[in-house]
Structure 1
Amino acid sequence: MRYLTSGETHGEALVAIIEGLPSNLFIDLDFINNELKRRQSGYGRGGRMSIESDVVHILGGVRNNLTIGAPLSILIRNLDYENWKGKDVPRVTRPRPGHADLSGAIKYDLKDMRDVLERASARETAARVSVGAVAKLLLKNFGIVVKSDILEIGGERDREKWPALIDEAKNEGDTLGGVIEITIDGVPIGLGSHVQWDRKLDALLSYSVMSVQAIKGVEIGMGFMSARQKGSSVHDEIFYDGHFYRKTNNAGGIEGGISNGMPIVLRAYMKPIPTLRKPLTSVDIDSKEEVKATYERSDVTAVEAAAVVLEAVCAWTIADEVTKKFSGDSLHDMIENFNMYMKRVEKY
C-alpha cells in the first residue's frame, strides 16, 4: 500500500489518497472522525483547536461504506481557511530556529517563508491520522491493536504535575516536548524480513515515527538502555509450552527485523515546538540583520496530539506489512491467507 497527502495549514483543505487497500473493507466514518477529534485534544493546545472540527469526506474508492479496490480519496476541510481567504498576509522573513523555515526557503528558492511553513506545519498530520484510522480498521480484522501512552512531558513523569508545568511554560512564552510510548498488540510472528535492509520491520517503523513533525528520536524495546547492559540481561530467553514464548520483551517484539509474536513496543522523543511566544534570536533574510524570530499562532505542547499521530503512522506501517504478508485483492482473501498462515505457525 502507499499514500500521499496534499494541502497547507491555511489552505482550503487537506487531501489524502490511499492506494492498495483490499476490497470489502468497512469504512467506519464515525471511527475515523473520532480519531481526528482525539488528535485535536490535549492540555496545552493553541487557539486553532477552537476553530477546527475535523471531519472526513470520502471522495472515491468506497461504495455502500465498503472499499471497492480502487484508490481511496479523503478530504478534510480547513475551517480556518475562511479567516485567511482574500487577506493580504504579510511575508515571513524571520526564520524560527528549529523549524523548516530557513532551510526550506533556501532549498526551494522562496522569498516568503510562509510558503514553507504552510506545508511543514503539523496541521498536515490531520491527513495522516485519517489514513492511519483506515489502517486501524484494516488491522482490526486481524486482531491487531495500536495504542499509545505518554510517559513524560517537559521531562516530568508525574502526570498530576503536567498541567502546572504547561501553564508555567505558557506564562514564560515557552514550549514543551515529551516522550510517547506506542504498543502494538496482536502482531503475528513474521512481519518484516531479515533479507534486505529496507524490509526490516524495526527500520520501517522507525522511519515512520521519525517522519512525524518534531520527533527527534526513537527506540524499540529496551532501546538505548541495551547499549549499557550485558547481553545476558538484554536478550529475551526462549521457552516452549506447546508454543514458543518469552518471559521478557526487551527486544520490543522485533528480532532481526522480523516480528516475533510479542507486543511491539517503541518510544518516540518529541522536541518542544519551535514556535515561541518569546521568540529566539534569528536573522532577517532580507536585511541580514539580527532580529527575533517570527511568532505564529501555536501550541504550548502537542504531545497528546502527537501520540495519536504516532499511532496512525505505526498502524499504517503494520497494515502495509500485513497486506504484503497476506496479500489478496479482497479482505476475504487476506483473512483466509492469514488463517492458513496462523495454522502453520501453531504447528511449528
Structure 2
Amino acid sequence: MRYLTAGETHGPQLTAIIEGMPSNVEIDFEEVNHQLHRRQKGYGRGRRMQIEKDTVRVVGGVRHGKTTGAPVALVVDNNDWKNWTSIMSIESIEDGEAKRRVNRPRPGHADLNGGLKYNQKDLRNILERSSARETTMRVACGGVARQLLELFGIKLACQVIRLGEVVVKREEMPIDDLIRITEESPLRVTDKEAEAAMITAIDAAKADGDTLGGIVEVIVEGVPVGLGSHVQWDRKLDGRIAQAVVSIQAFKGVEFGIGFEAAERRGSNVHDPIVYSEDGGFSRSSNRAGGFEGGMTTGEPIVVRGVMKPISTLYKPLPSVDIDTKEPFTAQVERSDTCAVPAAAVIMENVIAWEVAQAFMEKFGGDSVEEIRNNLKQYQAQVESY
C-alpha cells in the first residue's frame, strides 16, 4: 500500500490517491469525515478551523460502499479558495504582479530553505505546500486504512500527555474508555485538573502572541506478533513509524514504550520478561519496549509518543531577513494557531494507522479481504502451534 497527496493550503482542493487497498473493504466515509473533524478540533486552534469544514469526496476506487481493488481517489475541497482564486491562480502573470507575495521568511518554517532549494523568489510557493494543512489528506488516508485494521480487531487511540509545562497525571484504562474520555476533552486529556491548567497556559500564550507545543501518545491494540522485520533496516516497523511521526509538521522527536527513560535504567529494568501460558501462548509480563523487539511487533500494544514543538508562526514574529533587500525585518505573519497539540495527536494516530495497515498488508497481503482473512488464520494457527 502507498499513497500520494497533492494540493496547497489555499488552493482549490487537496487530493490523495491510495494504491494497494484490497477489494471488498466496506468504507464508511462518514467515519473518514469524523477523523477529519477530530483533526480540526482542540482548544487553541485558529480562525482557519472556523472556515474549513473538511469533508471527503470519493472520486475513484469505491463502488456501492466497498473498495474494488482499484486506486482509491479522495478529494477535500478548500472552502477558503473563494478568497484566494486570483492570488493562487494557475494562470501566468506578468513579473511583479504576484499578489500576497511572501519575501520575509518565517523562522522555523520551510520558507527560506525551500526558496533556496527550488529557486523561488515568492516564498508563498513554498509555504502553501509545506503548511500543516497538508496533513488533512494524511488523516483521510489513515481514516481509510484504519477501517481495514478494524476488520481484524485492531484499535487506535491518542491522548495529550504534556502541553508546555503542564504534565498529565497518567491513569491506566481500557482503550475504549481512553477513546471516550479524550473525545470529550477539548485538549484530548484524561486529567481534568491538567486540562484547566492547559487552557490557562494557551490563553496566556495567545495574549503574548506566542505558541505552545507538547507531547502526544498513540496506542494501538490488537496487533498480531511479527509485523515488520529484522532482516533489513527499512523493514523495521518501529523505524517506519518513527519516520512517519517526525514527518508531521512541527514534530521533533519520537519514542516507544519507556523511550528515553531507558537511558536512566539498568537493563534488568528495561527489557520485558517472556512468559508462556496454555491459554495465551507466549507474551510479555511488561511492555516497556512499547510493543516492539527487533523491529517487529511483539503482540503487546504499540505505544508511541511524539514531541511537537511550538508552532513557528508567531503573532509577535521573530527577526528575519528580506530576501529582496537583504535587510533585517520581522518575519511575515500568516494566519496560525496558538496551540495545535490536540490536533497533532489525531494526525499522529492516523499516520500510525497507515504504517500499521501497510505492514499488515505486507504480512498477510492479498487482493481481497477474504484472501487476507485466510492468510491471517493460517498464520495464527502457525503461531499457536509453535
Task: Give the TM bin, normalised by the shorter chain.
Answer: over 0.9
**Residue matched to 1:147:** 157
**Residue matched to 1:269:** 307
Q: Secondary structure at the match of 2:79?
A: coil
Does residue 257 (structure 1) correspond to residue 295 (structure 2)? The answer is yes
**Residue matched to 2:177:** none
Does residue 285 (structure 1) correspond to residue 323 (structure 2)? The answer is yes
Does residue 337 (structure 1) correspond to residue 375 (structure 2)? The answer is yes
Q: Secondary structure at the match of 1:148?
A: strand
Does residue 156 (structure 1) correspond to residue 166 (structure 2)? The answer is yes
Q: Secondary structure at the match of 2:320?
A: strand
**Residue matched to 1:318:** 356
Cα distance in 2 between the residues matched to 1:2 and 1:245: 31
List per-residue Cα deviations over 1:40-85 (Å, max 9, x = no partner): 0000000011110011110000100111000000000000001111
**Residue matched to 2:17:** 17
Tell me if structure 2 keeps the 8 A contact 1:2–1:19: yes
Cα distance in 2 between the residues matched to 1:89 and 1:154: 37
TM-score (norm 1): 0.99
What is the identity, as a one-letter code, of the residue corresponding to 1:129?
A: V
Cα distance in 1 between the residues matched to 2:362 and 2:290: 22
What is the identity, as a one-letter code, of the residue corresponding to 1:122?
A: A
Cα distance in 2 between the residues matched to 1:329 and 1:202: 25
Q: Which range moved further: 225-234 or 83-92? A: 83-92
Shift of 1:173: 0.1
Shift of 1:339: 1.4
What is the identity, as a one-letter code, of the residue corresponding to 2:152?
A: F
Q: Secondary structure at the match of 2:316?
A: coil
Does residue 186 (structure 1) correspond to residue 222 (structure 2)? The answer is yes
Cα distance in 2 between the residues matched to 1:227 and 1:309: 28
Ranges in structure 2 where 5+ consecutive residues have no aligned partner: 88-97, 168-193
What is the identity, as a one-letter code, of the residue corresponding to 1:181?
A: E
Ranges in structure 1 where 5+ consecutive residues have no aligned partner: none
What is the identity, as a one-letter code, of the residue corresponding to 2:375?
A: N
Q: Secondary structure at the match of 1:115?
A: helix
Cα distance in 1 between the residues matched to 2:338 and 2:38: 17
1:163-174 mapped onto 2 (5 Å cutoff): 163-174=199-210
Q: Secondary structure at the match of 1:80?
A: helix
**Residue matched to 1:295:** 333
Aligned with 2:259 (options 220, 223, 230)? 223
Cα distance in 2 between the residues matched to 1:344 and 1:143: 19
Shift of 1:115: 0.4
Shift of 1:86: 2.0
**Residue matched to 1:45:** 45
Cα distance in 2 between the residues matched to 1:335 and 1:72: 21
**Residue matched to 1:109:** 119
What is the identity, as a one-letter code, of the residue corresponding to 1:106?
A: L
Shift of 1:95: 0.6
What is the identity, as a one-letter code, of the residue corresponding to 2:3?
A: Y
TM-score (norm 2): 0.89
**Residue matched to 1:232:** 268
Shift of 1:302: 0.5
Cα distance in 1 between the residues matched to 2:336 and 2:248: 17
Aligned with 2:100 (options 90, 100, 103)? 90
Q: Which range moved further: 157-166 or 320-329? A: 157-166
Does residue 347 (structure 1) correspond to residue 385 (structure 2)? The answer is yes
Cα distance in 1 between the residues matched to 2:8 and 2:60: 21
List per-residue Cα deviations over 1:327-348 (Å, max 9, x = no partner): 1110110011111111221222
Shift of 1:155: 2.5
Tell me if structure 2 keeps the 8 A contact 1:36–1:129: yes
Runs of 4+ residues over 4 Å off in structure 1: none
CA RMSD of aligned residues (A): 0.8
Shift of 1:160: 2.1
Cα distance in 2 between the residues matched to 1:197 and 1:38: 34
List per-residue Cα deviations over 1:114-155 (Å, max 9, x = no partner): 000000000000011000000100000111111111001112
Cα distance in 1 between the residues matched to 2:59 and 2:100: 34
Q: Secondary structure at the match of 2:4?
A: strand
Q: Which range moved further: 257-266 or 149-158? A: 149-158
Cα distance in 1 between the residues matched to 2:195 and 2:223: 29
Aligned with 1:203 (options 229, 239, 243)? 239
Tell me if structure 2 keeps the 8 A contact 1:131–1:316: yes
Cα distance in 2 between the residues matched to 1:60 and 1:245: 42
1:300-311 mapped onto 2 (5 Å cutoff): 300-311=338-349
What is the identity, as a one-letter code, of the residue corresponding to 2:208?
A: E
What is the identity, as a one-letter code, of the residue corresponding to 2:103?
A: T
Aligned with 1:133 (options 134, 143, 147)? 143
Shift of 1:244: 1.2
Q: Secondary structure at the match of 1:335?
A: helix
Tell me if structure 2 keeps the 8 A contact 1:141–1:335: no
Does residue 7 (structure 1) correspond to residue 12 (structure 2)? The answer is no
What is the identity, as a one-letter code, of the residue corresponding to 1:233?
A: N
What is the identity, as a one-letter code, of the residue corresponding to 2:324?
A: D
Cα distance in 1 between the residues matched to 2:144 and 2:295: 25
Q: When the two structures are aligned, how many residues end up with a matched partner?
A: 348
